[in-house]
Structure 1
């Protein structure tokens, strides 16, 4: 493999060395979050940061989900005395806020949720993914992510600059003008959504405009199925995907092996049972929970709401970090049953009270206003009366009656679903 195959030496360091470095950095990051942000000072009150030096210790901390972040931001925006549009989660800001400096930009994502951008070069750490997609110093990049309100354009541009690329800031829309820029500037690659790249290539074929200069792409923001990857390859474009969020920056990225997504070097990722903070065994589908080492926006155990699973073994390219399967759906499986909301966390609480139950899945069937709930539970040797006790606990936790059905261990699908809504809506 060529000398420039990897972005830096961190990607190929021994896995044990990486884990030791992450765990050594973790206590300091937890202490920093407690000291520099009001939200974590409250959420982690009483936590001894020095003791949070292992994955087991990290797993005992609460998971903070996007809904809670939004609620805290809305609360603080409604209270002029707080003066913090970030809900107490940011360690940086500008004059007039509690955190009076350090923010270079501020963005708005749907909610609205506001995110700060600090002064660090490649603040969102996208360079690693862009390099893995084949971009190199001197390349001209056509970036069609949005440059207003949301951070996607800034995320990708700062990463491309860190690689050494020149960027054409195409932004979104204006297909004809963007296609003209492709024809006249002849960029080496494209960064943006897969759907807009397809629109550009189809429009180019329709109008006779050449896009032959674009031979590589780094995609995000949408699903990227293998069929579309093949479609791009047939038109001379090798496209790779990244997994990033406006809150966390880069989480994982695709490599030339096309075998899962490799985790970024500056995040600690856990896969937990939806509705809980409990890590699942490697290979089992669960919610992606991320702790970032970013001192400006130090999110600890931030639940993305996305489902994925750990893949066994290292990446065939030689990168030694953990791989995940990619995006497998959403973890929020809340269902409304007979006028009551039932959450994955409630199902987890039912199972927690009965250690004999290994895994469970609540299936909601029937028609609207005539719902039936069945809790399918993996049990080896069920003791007498367990079904009745589980049913009583289910009624106690959810305030709804339901049946209990035992199934053999390992028979429930490994898809991360805790609540399956199988009702008929037509």
Structure 2
């Protein structure tokens, strides 16, 4: 018995192949669709998407489902690649996968699939490790009064909700995640004894999809001209070495300087002077902050009642998909921005990254980090915060006056827990 029609995004990898396999075995009428997002070859003249397309076609042939391809190169260029280049050139750290999911995979791709199916309510399945509160109820084609919630996958190591935090409730209402309640090893076990076992031959894709086998430097220098500058010791002002461009580094990154035995790490990149400020030691207190100021929050399932009622919310925070969740308190501000105060300090939070919020297993949404709060080094004396030159002291003085010293100060217990070596703080 055929349960109904569903489109499954096919990438050529094992995850999307197993997603389509599960749908087919359950009795759905599955159409496989491959998306082309990038059309340039790598440095040896090999287009990685040609191989992806070959495997995607092979998956559909093996499963005896139709195969189609959609071209989203323009959408990817405008909504993902150009913003990434703009941010990198200004010393910001942006995650292109987040933009790709928001604007391409769960927006433009959805519209293309609706046209293919001639059905504005067609359900699109993907191989992402995530879960929707609707589950298979998404296929019931009935009016959904309550917005669906984006939930963590059962496999917490593979969970991809961080990268999905900017998708809309409207997209989620028409999305199904067949792998959401499976662990990766179960997916592989299912694949190895199936028609799509050949997908296990492929290496799992990691990193930025369009770079291919090139180094990041070799790739990005085609779009942002190399602009040599100097590494400057933030405390002494001494020139410590030279670099090829601020866009090749991010805050907190270890930087092995020529002729220096000890490791230095990046504190700040100045796009105006092209200088990179560094400090000796990767765990210096200058890297540990306890608060971030974000842009307006994108709430996937709508504004939480607690925020609507009191302009604040206790929840959990992460700014990197592999980092542990940290308890926090979110405060909404009059200008639409948000202040997130963490219960524990985190290392190297960076402007341009995303502050992603969770409540239990639910991913609530997120927002871009606009400013990072004063560090442990700056807050040695909570009564007299010694702001660094690049910190917007006016903003943080105002926020500390309004919300108290927790915006920046640490307890002795926290500094000990995070192994901040106070004796090595430069004066």
With normalisation by structure 2, the TM-score equals 0.28
So what's the TM-score if we normalise by structure 1? 0.28
Does 1 or 2 have the higher relative contact order (CA < 8 Å, sep 6+)? 2
